[in-house]
Structure 1
Amino acid sequence: MNIFSRYLMRNIFIGFAAAAGLLIPLFTTFNLVNELDDVSAGGYHWTQAILIVLMTLPRTLIDLGPFIALLGGIVGLGQLSKSMELTAIRTTGFSIFRIAMVALCTGLILTVSLGVVDEWFASPLQQYALQMKNAATALDGSNESQGNILWARSGNEFVTVKALDDHNQPVGIEVFYYRPDRSLASYVYASHATVLDGNMWTLNHVSEKNWVNGKEIVEVKESLKWQSIFTGMTLEELTMPSDSFSIKQLNQYIVYLKNTGQPSIEFNMALWQKIGRGILTLAMILLAIPFTFTAPRSPGLGSRLAIGVIVGLLTYISYQIVVNVGLLFRLNVEMVTITPPAFLLIIALILIYQFDRRS
């Protein structure tokens, strides 16, 4: 790598920093406004809302990765173009294609860095923030819909948990046992449970119904031991949204869903979207090249940035529509999540090739 390549990479990284410095405070403000809507007098306080927004800053950075790549590339290369430094570099034999490859290497470093942040920082912090929020909202007696509903299946046994309390203990447990002919053999309801070691639960305030020869037998018990079928992951993890999981957790969750007979397409989508987002980031940094060389002597960097914001926003919305349509119609996960970013990457390479030939 020669001095010109290092100089180009340094300026592109400066562009990334400038784009992040512009976008992250803006979107963080939006996130704070959303969190303040959930603030209540008896549970979730505004100080906790601010702390949770700060803890989810790495997740915001990950989500804005493609935007940062596009706008950062426009800023970094645009400044060099405006000052004629890019023209001077090209006179030394640097082609547009070679400049694009330097930008691609810079984007690859950004993509890998964001992947590391996602796996080891953004996911744990976001999950901890969500658990903190759930614990805070659990203190508010007016909140009747805290937590997520959990389902699991093992053979002919089906279980649902209504919510988790502020100590992450299950509340509102229902256990259904079915016969091979799909008729209901027994039903157990417990108001709450205590999770013990070895996936053993103590169900408390239990009402058990059994059907024998067409007759219903009802028993009320103070407690009942039950072997949980929620295995492989903690209950707190099972209540987390798919976008908060690391790659390792997503793989574990997909295995758990398959073992318990539940659909796993949403979490497969989330897993492959991480790869798709990386490809999209590389495509965006390459799209900055046509923005730079369309009118290299034009001083209107602001207009290029405005167009870049529009292109980035339309790309993000289009990608989310494609992913949600694929989820709705249960289309092939890899095709839905990888094809649009790969198609955009090919378009960017074609545009660069055409600009390189013209020069």
Structure 2
Amino acid sequence: MNILERYIASHVASAIAIVLLIILGLDCLMALIDQLDRLNDHYTFVGALHYVALTAPRRLYEFIPLGGLVGAMIGLGMLASHSELTVMRAAGFSTQRILLAVFKPVLLLAVMGMVIGQFVAPLTERKAQSARAVALSGDGTFFVRGGVWHKEGTEYIHINAVESGDVIHGVTRYQFDDQMQLIRSSHARIGRYAGDVWLLEQVQETRLLGTHTETALLAEERWNSGLTPDLLAVVVLEPEDLSISGLWSYTEYLEAQGIKADTYLLAFWGKLLQPLSIGALVLIGISFIFGPLRSVPIGQRVISGVVLGLVFKFAQDLLGPASTVFGFPPFLAILIPILICGGAGWLMLRRAG
């Protein structure tokens, strides 16, 4: 990498870093404010700060495409505003070499995003959600907002909180017969995974027996379930917060249960193709710098980048449900906006010369 390439790459990298820090800071501040109305004797302000800090990697991961787009537009746009790009091109530094210099920090950004999305964000997000749920349930009731629903065969399960991979709280189970008539419900205070079975403690059971019901209190109940701690770590999070490998394994599990997994497939392809999304957005952003946004103020570039990123995100969000309705593969809902965005950027760059 020669001096000019390092100069361009450093400008773009620093602009991306500043944009991401600003966006992440604002989002964390808004998240902290949102937590204030949930504070109680057990979920304190320190706990809310801890929750927001643990969710920061997931928030950073979500903003990486937008941060890469806006940062690249600002970094390269500043060079264009001072006519430095014009001087470079006049000196024989081609547009292709400028693109290569810009994409070097963008490639590092994409790799960082994959690492955070696969290894860091799912772990910290799970800890954040579990710690908050347990804190909100500090009075022992465990009837808190949120939790997770899960279906296994003819049984519907709700889990209020997951303290760790093998400890769960507030396990409510509804069991139906083949005619989908409710025949049993139960609520367990806590459950622990013991090798290949869940041991549920302090169980309140209700059986529906035609014209009457029977209730019982059980100190312990063995629950055989395919919901292992590894799968449970996937269930408690939203699809967008899961790792790529976790999404794929849970998709296979749902399909084995005969349950449609389109939501998880959309999240899987979105995460897997995120580097292409970043590249397509940065490419069209660069084409704007060489074209219509060559000499506009920095504020207008920021607004243009944000609008472009939102349009791209909305396109993927709209095509996601459309793939379910019209029956085309979920990966096309993610890939089509990428191809359109990347193709448009490439054509604009060729016209700009």
Aligned to 1:266: 263
Shift of 1:83: 2.4
Choose 315-324 or 11-20, whichever is displaced more.
315-324
Q: CA–CA distance in 1 between the matches of 2:33 and 2:301?
A: 29
1:66–1:284 contact (8 Å) kept in structure 2: yes
Kindly name which structure, 1 or 2, has the bigger radius of gyration based on alpha carbons.
1
1:201–1:228 contact (8 Å) kept in structure 2: yes
Aligned to 1:116: 115
Structure-1-length-normalised TM-score: 0.84
Corresponding residue SS for 2:195: helix
Aligned to 1:50: 49
Structure 2 matches for 1:172-251, cutoff 5 A?
A: 172-174=171-173, 176=175, 178=177, 182=179, 187=184, 189-192=186-189, 194-203=191-200, 204-205=202-203, 207=205, 209=207, 218=214, 220=216, 222=218, 223-231=220-228, 233=230, 235-251=232-248
Aligned to 1:22: 22
Residue identity in the other structure for 2:260: P
Is 1:151 the counterpart of 2:150 in the alignment? yes
Aligned to 1:284: 281
Shift of 1:193: 5.1
Residue identity in the other structure for 1:254: T
Q: CA–CA distance in 2 between the matches of 1:183 and 1:294?
A: 62
RMSD: 3.1
Q: CA–CA distance in 1 between the matches of 2:275 and 2:140?
A: 43
Corresponding residue SS for 1:161: strand
Shift in CA distance, 28/325, structure 1 to aligned 2, threshold 3 Å:
farther
Q: Which runs of 5+ in 2 are unaligned?
A: none
Shift in CA distance, 183/114, structure 1 to aligned 2, threshold 3 Å:
closer
Aligned to 2:11: 11
Shift in CA distance, 185/344, structure 1 to aligned 2, threshold 3 Å:
closer
Q: Could you give the per-residue CA deviations for residues 34-67 of structure 1, whole angstroms, max 9, x where no partner exists?
A: 2223x23233222211222122222222111122
Structure-2-length-normalised TM-score: 0.85
Shift in CA distance, 174/354, structure 1 to aligned 2, threshold 3 Å:
same
Q: CA–CA distance in 2 between the matches of 1:21 and 1:161?
A: 37
* Number of residue pairs aligned between Structure 1 and Structure 2: 349
Shift of 1:297: 6.8
Q: CA–CA distance in 2 between the matches of 1:299 and 1:149?
A: 48
Q: CA–CA distance in 1 between the matches of 2:300 and 2:182?
A: 69
State the percentage of identical aligned residues: 22
Shift of 1:134: 0.8
Choose 199-208 or 124-133, whichever is displaced more.
199-208
1:172–1:192 contact (8 Å) kept in structure 2: yes
Aligned to 2:88: 89
Shift of 1:272: 0.7
Q: CA–CA distance in 2 between the matches of 1:321 and 1:102?
A: 34
Choose 332-341 or 79-88, whichever is displaced more.
79-88
Q: Which runs of 5+ in 1 are unaligned?
A: none
Aligned to 1:130: 129
Corresponding residue SS for 2:230: coil
Q: Could you give the per-residue CA deviations for residues 102-145 of structure 1, whole angstroms, max 9, x where no partner exists?
A: 32343222111211122222221111111111111112578734
Shift of 1:239: 1.7
Q: CA–CA distance in 2 between the matches of 1:232 and 1:50?
A: 27
Q: CA–CA distance in 2 between the matches of 1:232 and 1:166?
A: 11
Shift of 1:172: 4.5
Aligned to 2:63: 64
Corresponding residue SS for 1:233: helix
Choose 140-149 or 258-267, whichever is displaced more.
140-149
Aligned to 2:170: 171
Q: Could you give the per-residue CA deviations for residues 247-301 of structure 1, whole angstroms, max 9, x where no partner exists?
A: 1221222222223333221111111111343222111211232332236873623
Q: CA–CA distance in 1 between the matches of 2:190 and 2:27?
A: 40
Shift of 1:340: 1.0
